[in-house]
Amino acid sequence: MQAAAAHNQALPIGHKLQGYEIRKVLSYGGFSFVYIAHDEDKVAVAIKEYLPISLALRAEGTNVRVNSEESSNNFRHGMKCFFEEGRALANIDHKNIVRVINFFRANDTVYMVMQYERGKSLQEYILNRSTPLSESFVRRVFSELLNGLREVHTQKLLHLDIKPSNIYIRLDGTPVLLDFGSARQTLTDIVSTLPPSYTPGFASPEQYFERKNLGPWSDIYSVGASMYACLVRGAPISADVRVKKDAYVPAKKVGKGIYSQNLLAIIDSCMELDPLARPQSVYALQKALLDDFASLEEQKPNLLNKLVTILNKSL
């Protein structure tokens, strides 16, 4: 990351961009910069700048320069995909999906302006604990998150980069899904020099091999892998490795006595290598998570009543 950033310069702090003022570089990868900026009312926003390092650079100033004539067509195609994704996401107004509030062209590239969320990522929740996250936390967070993912799929979009670091938990405890990878995936398909658009351990096998098989079930694999990470506090074995020799330790085995058998079975079903063996829709997965969660919640007062009865008898 540091080596790449030395060659590709971020916009300077204080730079004015279409009514926004750049305040901080939030993150940088092989595909984009993300900044914290203030709008004209001093409200914080996140701005994502399309800048794939394999195709274009900003050595100085603000404008982006394409590396070569050969890269130019690929850069423009990726910019079109990024812009269209921003336009599609702007049509989604859902509390569990990052809100895109503006997108525009400037500096010979494109920008996506998103609502800035305060809180911390699920990845931070996982790493800050020495034990697995509780079953009730996992069921609640992912059941809510799936509400948003259902809307994404209804819009004929795929996320393609669901992982704990892209699941943000707001200060009020509600989850929001960040950083879509669909445009990256499309561009990576045609440009072999770009870094992979998937995250090992969380990407479905079809993201590595049979991309024509991509569908809602691909995001469902990533949801399952993210739930698995809540249990083992780390990424599961990468799907491309599993395809060659599957050494995946089932959640039913590693999580026995920690989560209910029902939840462990749900996680394992999401992580099937065969796309057809996974839940085929977010609705099906959400229903499985919520049905058993409701019954578990209903049992709590009953257990309390039983305890009170036992105590009364002993008096």
Structural domain includes residue 150? yes
Please check whether residues 266 and 203 belong to one and the same domain: yes
Structural domain includes residue 307? no
pLDDT along the chain (315 residues), means of 10: 56 95 89 93 95 84 84 85 83 92 92 93 95 96 96 88 94 91 56 61 91 91 98 96 96 97 97 96 94 60 48 45
Number of domains in the chain: 2
> Residue 27 has what pLDDT?
85
The residues facing 300 across adjacent strands are: none
Please check whether residues 123 and 200 belong to one and the same domain: yes
Q: Is 162 exposed, middle or buried (0-12, 13-18, 19+ CB in 10 A)?
A: buried
Please check whether residues 258 and 170 belong to one and the same domain: yes
Structural domain includes residue 314? no
Domain end position, chosen among 115, 140, 159: 115
Angstrom distance (rounded) from CA 95 to CA 277? 30
> Residue 308 has what pLDDT?
46
Structural domain includes residue 309? no
For residue 269, CA distances in Å to 178, 250, 294 come to 24, 10, 20
> Residue 74 has what pLDDT?
84
Please check whether residues 59 and 168 belong to one and the same domain: no
Please check whether residues 49 and 135 belong to one and the same domain: no
> Residue 55 has what pLDDT?
87
Structural domain includes residue 265? yes
| Contact between residue 231 and residue 245 where contact means Cβ atoms under 8 Å apart | no
Please check whether residues 172 and 197 belong to one and the same domain: yes
**What is the tens place of the pLDDT at every residue in 98-154?**
999 999 999 999 999 999 999 999 999 999 999 999 999 999 999 999 999 999 998
Helix intervals (H) in the chain: 2-7, 69-90, 122-127, 135-154, 182-190, 205-208, 216-232, 239-244, 251-254, 261-270, 282-314
> Residue 53 has what pLDDT?
83
> Residue 5 has what pLDDT?
42
> Residue 273 has what pLDDT?
97
Please check whether residues 211 and 148 belong to one and the same domain: yes
> Residue 182 has what pLDDT?
59
Please check whether residues 38 and 159 belong to one and the same domain: no
Angstrom distance (rounded) from CA 109 to CA 66? 10
Please state the pTM of the whole predicted model.
0.84
Domain end position, chosen among 85, 115, 145: 115
| Contact between residue 162 and residue 202 where contact means Cβ atoms under 8 Å apart | yes
Please check whether residues 42 and 82 belong to one and the same domain: yes
Q: What are phi and psi of 201, to 5 degrees?
A: 100, -30
Q: Which domain holds residue 91?
A: 14-115
Residue with tokens 């570089």: 25
Please check whether residues 111 and 188 belong to one and the same domain: no
Sign (positive or negative) of CA dihedral 261, 234, 85, 158 = negative
> Residue 185 has what pLDDT?
57
Structural domain includes residue 315? no
**Pick from 143, 123, 144: which is nearest to 133 by CA?**
123
